[in-house]
Each structure stands twice: as C-alpha cells, then as structure tokens.
Amino acid sequence: MLDKIESIKSEALNASSGISDGDSLEQFRIKFLGRKGTIHELFEGFKDVKPDEKGKVGKALNELKVLLQKIYDDKKSEYEKTGGADDEADITLPGRTFNKGTRHLIHQAIAEITGIFSKIGFDIYEGPEIEDEFHNFDALNTPEYHPSRDMQDTFYVDSKGKDKRYLLRTHTSPGQVHVMENSKPPIRVIVPGKVYRNEEVSARSLAVFHQIEGLYVDKGVNFRELKGTLDHYAWEFFGKGLKTRLRPSFFPFTEPSAEMDVECILCKGDGCRVCKHTGWLEILGCGMVDPNVFQSVGYDPDEYTGFAFGIGIERTLMVKYGIPDIRIFYENDIRFLKQF
C-alpha cells in the first residue's frame, strides 16, 4: 500500500505539470480527487490494511490527499488568475451578432435624390423651418386674400411682439425665395427639408413630412428643359425607361403648372389597387416660375425664366416601394426599417 501511495504521488506530480487549461485541470480532479478517483479508491482499500500498518498507511494516505488537493487548488487559482475564460472559449462557435443601425429610409432617399440632382449641376440649400408669411406665401404669389392659402393648413407660431407673423413652413418653396434673394441667376438649386401642415393624421397624410424643392433660373429656361430634367430624375430614381406624364395642375407660384405621374411601378400601367386602377402614380408638382415671384425678389421677368418643382419624399417612397400607409415611416418598427 505504501508503495502504491508513493507511485500515485509521483504520477500526480507528473500529471500536474501537464495541467494547462480548464479541461486538463478538470481531468486531474476527476482522476485523483473525484468520487470514483484514486484517493477514493485508496480510502476504500484502507479497511483491508493490516492493523499494525494502519497508522503508517493512514498518515501517508492523508498526506497524499492533502498534497493532491493542494496541487489542484494551486493550479486552479493560477488558471483563474490568468483569465481562464480565454482557454474555455470555443473559437468554433459562431460570433454574437449585433444589429447594425442604418440610415432611415427617408434620409437615404434625400441623399439619393440630392445626389441625382447634384450630378447635373444643382447646389443644395437648406432653409429655415420657421418662416415669415412673406417667404412662405406672399413672395410666392399667394397674398393673404388668395384662396389658395387654404390649400395648405398652416401652423402659426406665436409672434407676439414680433414685427411679422411667423409660421412653420408648409412647403420647401420659400427656399426658392431665400436663394433668389441672396444670389443672381444662373441658379440651379435643390432644397430638401421638413415641412408642416395642420392636417389630420391618416394613412395618406401627416402633419410633418419631407419635401425636396428644385429651382432653375436663367435666361431662356423653357418647359422642355423642365420635362427633360424631371424625366432624368424619374428614370434615375424609379428605373430607366419608365413612362412619365405631365398633367396640368395649379400652383400660385408657377404658370403653367403641372403634376408629374410615373407609370405604376406595381402593375406597369395595367391598373391595380395601388394606382387606383389609373395605371399612374403622382410623384411631384412643378411648373414655370410665375413672373410675380421674380418680381417679389427683384428679378426682371422679361430677362429671366425658370422652372421649379417640389417632390414629396414620403409620397415618392410609397410609390417606389408600394408602401400603403404613410404613418409607418415614423413608427420606428425595426421590421420595416431593416428592409431598406
């Protein structure tokens, strides 16, 4: 028995130098200290030891047990100190994935559309969201009494003690006025931004949404250029060769005015629920700048002509992706957002 104890002792000392990680440490424990391990076995055999040897053997056995336990404890604390977790990491496991954020769909669209226009020479201007009545209405040929002011229900800002009446811009068109007030033709500019209307929130309208205004002023700008520019935009944004049409319309600040439709992306013009069986989807308002607008910014309408257009971003995206409800843009539902 004493010989056996001695050989186990050297075996354990040997094995201890091979402990290099959590696994080998655990194997050591199981082999020597475990419930079916060597120490347990030796203690089991202790009852068969001759009575006169019991004292010696018992002492050696206890010493062995203490030694093995100490080897185990020392190795364990050494291993824990060196950050054992590393050794336990299973590098074959797939990594943890993190949800990556993306730009919101509306901002992606603004970037894409401004990109399309800047490639053909348009600058970008961002005007204020709080405007006075002159920039939002009067300079755009929409005086107080003009019935078209009712077209856009306005949020007025408390202007007590101010010289003018202020409001949240109802469209990006006042951007046209700012640009013309501050520069001389030729002007090619687009104005992206938020606009506000006192409208009831529904599947089709919100009180806050986004527009991109466009303005081109120079000598001899004509309607054909308006159509060419907008076709270029529509084909870049919605797809090459898509049919477009200009439909006569009315805006106080353009004359003549039109709205542009594209062939329904879903049914390709055959007629479906999305295009209300017309085969067409409206994407923007446009027209030739009204001479009265030029006059209010001090341009000579006999010298300059120009065109302007206003693109509704949410509306445009609804058309492009067949999104049925405008409210979904602002619900921040990740299942919606991560599709773009």
Residue 187 C-beta: closest distance to ligand PHE, Å = 14
* Residue 171 binds to ligand PHE (criterion: CB under 6 A): yes
Q: Which residue of 142, 154, 173, 305 would you call a contact of ligand PHE, by CB under 6 A?
A: 173
User: Which residue's CB is nearer to ligand PHE, number 12 or number 313?
Assistant: 313
Site for ligand PHE in 195-214 (CB under 6 A): 213
Residue 266 C-beta: closest distance to ligand PHE, Å = 24
Q: Which residue of 293, 308, 317, 319 would you call a contact of ligand PHE, by CB under 6 A?
A: 308
* Residue 251 binds to ligand PHE (criterion: CB under 6 A): yes
Number of residues that bind ligand PHE (CB under 6 A): 11
* Residue 141 binds to ligand PHE (criterion: CB under 6 A): no
User: Which residue's CB is nearer to ligand PHE, number 38 or number 136?
Assistant: 136
* Residue 174 binds to ligand PHE (criterion: CB under 6 A): no
Residue 330 C-beta: closest distance to ligand PHE, Å = 19
* Residue 229 binds to ligand PHE (criterion: CB under 6 A): no
> Can you give the chain as a three-state secondary structure string?
CHHHHHHHHHHHHHHHHCCCCHHHHHHHHHHHHCCCCHHHHHHHHHHHCCCCCHHHHHHHHHHHHHHHHHHHHHHHHHHHHCCCHHHHCCCCCCCCCCCCCCCCHHHHHHHHHHHHHHHCCCEECCCCCEEEHHHHCHHHCCCCCCHHHHHCCCCEECCCCCCCCEEECCCCCHHHHHHHHHCCCCEEEEEEEEEECCCCCCCCCCCEEEEEEEEEEECCCCHHHHHHHHHHHHHHHHCCCCCEEEEEEEECCEEEEEEEEEECCCCCCCCCCCCCCCCEEEEEEEEEECHHHHHHCCCCCCCCEEEEEEEEHHHHHHHHHCCCCHHHHHCCCHHHHCCC
x/- map, 267-306, ligand PHE, by CB under 6 A:
------------------xxx-------------------
Query: Which residues form the interface with ligand PHE (CB under 6 A)?
Result: 171, 173, 213, 251, 254, 285-287, 308-310
